[in-house]
Amino acid sequence: MTGMTYTAIQRFVQRHYGFVPTTGWIAHVKAVSGLPTRRAANRAGRGRRVVPVPAEKREAIEQALRHFGLI
């Protein structure tokens, strides 16, 4: 992730939007934005997201990715 950690993204979102996104939500936003992701070892099913990012949280995570120059 070009030096950027999920923890840094979580901190940014918490500081600016008041909630801590799950790593799964971050991965989902990365995937729909065309960024590479890895398959989590604990992910259920065959490629299906168990808990996709809620629509109302997506923009905050996208803003964090923009802030760090990922999208």
Q: Return the pLDDT at 50.
A: 73
In terms of Cα–Cα distance, which of 22, 16, 18, 24 is closest to 49?
24
The number of domains in the chain is 1
**Is residue 45 situated within a structural domain?**
no
Q: Return the pLDDT at 39.
A: 75
Q: Return the pLDDT at 2.
A: 46
**Is residue 46 situated within a structural domain?**
no
**Is residue 42 situated within a structural domain?**
no
Q: What share of the chain is helix, strand, coil (3-state, %, to 5)?
A: 50, 0, 50
**Is residue 27 situated within a structural domain?**
yes
Q: Return the pLDDT at 14.
A: 98
Mean pLDDT by 10 residues, the chain (71 residues): 77 98 94 86 66 94 95 89
Which residue segment(s) compose the domain that 6 sits in? 1-36+53-71
Q: Residue 14: CA atoms inside 13 Å, Cβ hemisphere, count?
A: 9
